[in-house]
Amino acid sequence: MEGVVTVAVVEDDPTVREAVGEYLRTHGYAVSSFGDGVSARTALRETCPMS
């Protein structure tokens, strides 16, 4: 059984971040969006300890 792939979108421009996220969701991906690298890294370390 295949799982859903999650993509991290890291973009400081909220309009671009939302557009990219929406595009990916419509193509079957789960999306985690972040406004900067620090928040992305923090969240990814909490969910993926090896990152």
Q: Is residue 42 one of the residues assigned to a domain?
A: yes
Q: Is residue 1 one of the residues assigned to a domain?
A: no
Q: How far apart are CA 13 and CA 41, in angstroms?
A: 18
Q: Is residue 37 one of the residues assigned to a domain?
A: yes
Q: Which pLDDT does position 49 carry in this prediction? A: 67
Q: Give the global pTM.
A: 0.82
Confidence band for 1, pLDDT divided at 50, 70 and 90: very low
For the chain, how many structural domains are there in total?
1
Q: Is residue 33 one of the residues assigned to a domain?
A: yes
Tokens 């300890």 belong to which residue? 49
What is the extent of the structural domain holding 10? 6-47
Q: Is residue 35 one of the residues assigned to a domain?
A: yes
**Mean pLDDT value across residues 23-48:** 94
The runs of H, that is alpha helices, within the chain are: 14-26, 37-47
Q: Is residue 15 one of the residues assigned to a domain?
A: yes
**What average pLDDT does the chain have?**
92
Is the confidence at residue 30, as pLDDT, over 90?
Answer: yes
